[in-house]
A and B are shown apart, each in its own frame.
Chain A
Amino acid sequence: MTRVYTEARDACFEELFDIASRDRDVILLTADTGAFAFKRFRKELPGQFFNVGIAEQNAMSVAAGLVLGGKRVFVFGISNFVTLRCFEQLKLDICCMDLPVTVIGMGTGYVYPKDGPTHHMTDVLSLVRTLPGLEIWSPSDYSIIAAAVRSAYRSTGPTYIYMDKGPFDSMYAPDADFSEGLALLRAGRDVTLVATGIMVPQAMRVAEQLSEGGIDAAVVDLYRLKPLNVPRLRGLLAASRRVVTMEENTIIGGLGSLVCEVVAEEGLLTRVKRIGMRDTYHCEIGDRESMRALDGIDLNSATETICQWLGTDVPTCATAPVVPVKSCSCDRQWTSSEASR
């Protein structure tokens, strides 16, 4: 029976627990990153769950070795650290040898908004997109997380699951078919919003705001970035004269770039506006929506940007003042206080 999940890590690891219970060759490695479900792994499947320490490079190489020895391996860690820190191991030890290792990256975009730039996932999507053979899931819903885990287990090659902790709106039935890789969540004739991951519920809210201003916006959920379902995406892009991409990732190389590539390669006349992180680092500390406001990807800013682009008035519901978090000035205060002594 298909389960209904209300928490991202539960969706991931309860699904994986079921798989590991049936297949004793399934191994879960964590790079010293925790999840509530791991208590159950430790207790009931101690021979299949291991903390390999804060050593992501080695975790990836070891995963490759385990697979070469006949195991099926899932590696879990914070997204930045299980991609950027060990990118060459991902590339050479796993993807280049086409080994069925699944990397589960915890967190996307500004999931840790108060942890500073070391924990902002600004470029993970851009980076992993460049790895040939890597299947990339960017779930927008608990059901997709569970489906991605099942798909990864069946796969004969490497998989990356870029998993936000949510909360997500439950938009899909638990037993929905996700083999298409994308879905049209909402039809609309004026503009098409293409989003991925945690920005999909944000895009749905933007579409609701736009509708109050008389703009009929479609929303496309691109929950699998590789392999990309080009014919289906092409059809959806071609049906709209204007497309807006929304991502909590740098606009360089991520979802916006992907859509532009398809538009260019397929010879479409669709105009594209990319809404995403700008080409900079942020040291500000704030909640997630405030951090998004720094780059104009918070709800109201996104709606305003789209309205301006379409040449329409901003609906009143989106005109609340956007307050980006301010830069910290403690450095200056410290300096002046020191100087006054």
Chain B
Amino acid sequence: MNIGQLETIARQTRLRALEMALHAGAGHLGGSFSCTDVLVALYYGGFLRHDPANPDWDDRDRLILSKGHANGTLYVILADRGYFREAELDNFGRQGSCLGNHCDKTVPGVEITSGSLGHGLGVASGLAWSALLSGRDYRVFCIVGDGECQEGSIWEAAMFASQRRLGNLVAILDRNRLGSEDFTEDSAGLDPVEDKWTVFGWEVRSIDGHDFAQILPALEDCHTRASHQPLMIVANTVKGKGMPTLENTPRSHHTLPKGEEIDIARRALA
């Protein structure tokens, strides 16, 4: 799939997630839209080996969305790839639905329950380690929020992954620079974030997380690289990407577009 096609899918995915959240009256679109392009690259760009008809396939690559609140576009993608009926998206966040506001392992295609921050990278490390111990060659991809890097458990996992030489672990840091209330650098600053991961023993690549011309090369060798260092791709992104009135604002974390903002967002994503 070429870059133009991936861009189209990313736009359609955001639009469907927007409609889904508006229908539900809830959702974390800001953090979901900042990592949408990375998710689209993984699921449509051929990097994630998976089989929607067999979600428990032993040798599948694993995708852990550690920032579990950003499940909006992931659920749209999982439905589109055939893990569950597309119509189920209309039940998102509604009474009796299996699709809630955070990732739940009961949803086909979702590997772990996540939503409390700082857990996913440790679980991903355990999965990657399990593969090495068993001589299996699946890869583990983990999308980590930058806000959740303020949790100490993330750095416990960072030390562990390099100590155990988890070269089969690929983490993608969704560096949108925002928590739910403030910019990360105004609460518990992370910069220079690339340096931090480097000194923790990771190979670090820094990219524009909305530019497929940079995302694809960064992921290109994820199945073939010989390095035993875990790989961290710092994806510099914009929270709320695609919703002009909410982009790069703290309120995009949990606030949906209102009034004329809705049509502005729809037009931007059309």
Q: Which of the residues A47, A93, A97 comes within 8 Å of B122, measured between beta carbons?
A: A93
- Contact flag A93-B127 (CB < 8 Å), given A55-B156, A62-B160: no
When the two chains form the complex, which single residue of B116, B134, B160 contacts A92, counting CB atoms closer than 8 Å?
A: B116
Inter-chain contacts of B119 with A (CB < 8 A)? 61, 88-89, 92-93
B156 close to A65 (CB less than 8 A): no
**Shortest CB distance B128–A (Å):** 7
User: A93 touching B123 by the CB < 8 A rule?
Assistant: yes
For chain A residues 24-59, which have a beta carbon within 8 Å of chain B?
A: 25, 27, 47, 52-53, 55, 57-58
Say if the beta carbon of B153 comes within 8 Å of chain A: yes
- Bound CA span A37–B105, Å: 37
**B residues lining the A interface (CB < 8 Å):** 58, 62, 105, 111-114, 116, 118-119, 121-131, 133-134, 136, 152-153, 156-157, 159-160, 163
A58 touches B122 (CB 8 A): yes
Tally the A-B contacts, defined by beta carbons under 8 Å: 95
Give the distance in Å from the alpha carbon of A68 to the alpha carbon of B116 in the complex.
19
A96 interface neighbour in B113, B136, B163, Cβ under 8 Å: B113
- Please give, as numbers and ranges, the residues of chain A lying within 8 Å of B134 by CB-CB distance: 25, 69-71
Dominant secondary structure at the B interface: helix
13 A-B contact pairs sorted by A residue (CB < 8 Å): A27-B133, A53-B159, A57-B118, A61-B119, A64-B112, A64-B123, A65-B122, A65-B123, A66-B129, A68-B111, A97-B105, A97-B112, A97-B113
Point out the residues of chain A lying under 8 angstroms from B130, CB to CB: 65-66, 68-71
Q: Taking CB as reference atom, which chain A residue is nearest B118?
A: A57
**Is A11 interfacial (CB 8 A cutoff)?**
no
Which residues of the partner chain B approach A92 to less than 8 Å between Cβ atoms? 113-114, 116, 119
- Please name all residues of chain B whose beta carbon is closer than 8 Å to the beta carbon of A68 when the two chains form the complex: 62, 111-112, 123, 126-127, 130
B111: A residues at CB distance < 8 A: 68
Query: How far is it, in angstroms, between the C-alpha of A71 and the C-alpha of B58 when the chains are bound?
Result: 13
Instruction: Type the 1/0 row for A56-89, where 1 means its CB is closer than 8 Å to any CB of B.
Output: 0110111111111111000000000000000011
Q: A62-B123, A64-B112 are in contact. List 7 more A-B contacts (CB 8 A).
A: A61-B119, A61-B153, A62-B122, A65-B125, A69-B136, A92-B113, A92-B114
Alpha-carbon distance between A69 and B60 when the two chains are bound, in angstroms:
11
Q: Which are the 3 A-B pairs with shortest beta-carbon distances?
A: A65-B126, A69-B130, A61-B122
